[in-house]
Amino acid sequence: MDQRLYEMSYSAPDRLNIVLNSAITILFKEICGRVNLGEGALDTAVYEANNIMILAPELLARQPIDAMESALASRKILAVREELETPEHKLIDKIIFDIILLTQGEREAVYEAVINLVEARLKKAGSV
């Protein structure tokens, strides 16, 4: 069997989608993924996905997430810097960061790290 992640299932897919789209999960995916497909694509095999830490989606049970998920699903994905500035991402990240008790400085560091890693990966791909 191939080592690619084709499908995930969870009892509350809306909560899982929110967690997977949070900046902290993006950061861990950037750290754990591999760039070997060309053009800056980030490759993640199943065994690598199993190593990516994510927030337990159940922790979002009392959060207003319906509008966030709908907003994310109904628009184009933007460049990372712009994407993290959208109201949907700001709200998702505020909820996630509040749950894991990040300080304002730590929140800013997560954003900076995500932006730097994604932009460096894309810049490197563009130079080849």
pLDDT in tens, 18-62: 899 899 999 999 988 877 666 667 878 887 888 888 899 999 887
- Find where tokens 């095999």 sit: 45
Predicted model pTM: 0.84
Report the C-alpha gap between 33 and 52 in whole angstroms: 9
Domain membership of residue 3 (yes or no) is no
Domain membership of residue 1 (yes or no) is no
Look at the chain and report how many structural domains it folds into.
Answer: 1
Q: How many CB atoms lie within 10 A of CB 14?
A: 16
Domain membership of residue 7 (yes or no) is no
Domain membership of residue 44 (yes or no) is yes
Domain membership of residue 6 (yes or no) is no
Structural domain of 29: 13-126
Give the pLDDT confidence of 78-117 residue by residue, as tens digits.
999 999 999 888 989 999 999 999 999 999 999 999 999 9
Buried b / exposed e along 22-42 (16+ C-beta atoms within 10 A): bbbbbbbbbebbebeeeebeb
40 within 8 A of 124, measured Cβ to Cβ: yes
Q: How many CB atoms lie within 10 A of CB 7?
A: 4
Q: How many CB atoms lie within 10 A of CB 75?
A: 10
